[in-house]
Structure 1
């Protein structure tokens, strides 16, 4: 593969980006794992291949999604891999970093929405003002249609799974959220339990999801700002194929959707999700959800031959 790579992050959820416009580079799982290793490699939660949608050949694992991207006018496709080399459908922080990479490299116009092909469908990414007053550019992503297996009815009975962590003997009820990739959200009663949760070991989810799942632990701010449409929650996440990460974009969306579900149909629809890596904004608009947050490119690097 090319020796030139770029390191970037969105709220400290970090990635190695490899530009491969003509889809000429096969990046096997062991290479992904080596590059994302935090002691022997560059270090990251995942790897993103920047590839033209039209360049994905027949027989490639992305072909159906690439055809969709081409039909929608998405010039670029985000080929995302978890740190262990496994393929992931989507990454909310990653797609912002991907769009920022395109804008920074002159491959996309920041004055217009950027269409990005992903395995979770085509995402529209727009440059927006930073509500926190920081220096990093913020991007708003139309994350598409969300799904929950439970109907939005009796929130008091809203659980379709239970989750156990190594530091807790008691299994806690949880709700599943499909954001193009799978999530399981657990509400904790207070901040101390959120801080003390052991996420060094993968939580045990029952029933066991067929394709694994990301697990979010949240605490909802009960006070708020007095506006019933807005809410704030704190979150930690264990990502499948990675471990605990500083932030998760699709996880933040899943957390906000679960919190609103538990609050009932009149619950908040505009959420600030505080994560160890920083805050993001999640807006729920009917069947669709939007994620806004920062994107940063840290460095370009040249890989040295190993031998």
Structure 2
């Protein structure tokens, strides 16, 4: 049997605070990549190298999100996000900023400062706004506290530590640590041991409140993260949001609703705000193109 000839694909490499992605437009639905193709593109030695793939597809032609158009007809683009191991993810806070920046730069959408673009994701429609400085803010929607009885163990910690489990909508477990030294000593080369074991995997954040904790009404924390399907990454957008939510939870009623989150790849801003359907959490930060290339898949 003759083998399938390779296809040529125009892709970009881009990142949001070091969380990097291979991004490409697929408006005609010709490149719904296999797990093996995703893994090959994300391979840092034999491929382009990335934490995940962002495929820009038409919502109307994507069965996973077609139904969202009934209530959100302007969400015409679907962010099809795959982790580096080829697994599907509900959403990606850094990725959606990179995704919208890609659409804008390639004139696939028009977005001026202050305007908002709805984007279809597996976690629902998410609204992204661009600022005059070129940063993007995404409304991650309602967050949910799942469990307060989770324990996490990772090399570098003497005993398992308690964690908060939250969704935004990706699943996260957040561990608050006592010092930067404790955070730096963690070995995140392998998946942390989370109990009870999550059925669909989980992202794990380790967070240290900084000194001073609050300056001019803004909280300040530092974070490292192990992302499901990837490993330790330089940044995780939804992870930064859950880290700030967890920090606010432990600080109590006097905690701020605006946080600065330091990650190995830079800095992100998180804001919590009320809506008619409940409290939402928003994430803002940069999106940067690295290079464009042509690959065969």
The TM tier, using the shorter chain, reads over 0.9
Whole-angstrom distance in 2 between the partners of 1:282 and 1:23: 34
Aligned partner (choices 13, 19, 38) of residue 19 of structure 2: 13
Is 1:123 equivalent to 2:126 in the alignment? yes
After TM superposition, what 4+ stretches of structure 1 lie above 4 angstroms from structure 2?
Answer: none
Q: Distance in 2 between matches of 1:7 and 1:66?
A: 27
Is the Cα contact below 8 Å between 1:69 and 1:116 reproduced in 2?
A: no
Tell me the TM-score normalised to structure 1 length.
0.89
Confirm or deny that 1:283 pairs with 2:275.
no
How far the C-alpha of 1:226 sits from its partner, in A, is: 4.2
Q: TM-score, normalised by structure 2?
A: 0.92
Structure 2 SS opposite 1:80? strand
In the TM superposition, what is the alpha-carbon distance from 1:304 to its structure 2 partner?
A: 4.0
Aligned residues, how many? Answer: 284
The CA deviation at 1:113 is: 1.2
Residue of structure 2 in register with 1:303 after alignment:
295
Of 32, 38, 43, 1:37 maps to: 43
- State which of 152, 171, 175 in structure 2 corresponds to 1:182: 171
Distance, in Å, in 2 between the alignment partners of 1:92 and 1:4 is 24
Report what 2:155 is aligned to.
166
What is the CA RMSD across the aligned residues, in angstroms? Answer: 1.4
Q: Is 1:194 paired with 2:183?
A: yes
Measure how far apart 1:225 and its partner are.
4.6
Contact 1:69 1:77 in 2 (8 A): no
Higher strand share: 2
**Aligned counterpart for 1:138 among listed residues 135, 138, 155:** 135
Which residue pairs with 1:68 in the alignment?
Answer: 68
Go from structure 1 to structure 2 and tell me whether the alpha carbon gap of 1:113 and 1:194 turns closer, same or farther (over 3 Å shift).
same
1:265 to partner: Cα distance: 2.8
Q: CA deviation at 1:25?
A: 2.0
The answer to whether 1:4 aligns with 2:5 is no
Report what 1:273 is aligned to: 261
1: CA distance, partners of 2:229 / 2:214: 37
User: Matched residues in 1 for 2:98 and 2:258: separation?
Assistant: 22
Distance 2:125 2:15 in 1: 21
Asked whether the 8 Å contact 1:66–1:77 carries over to 2, the reply is no
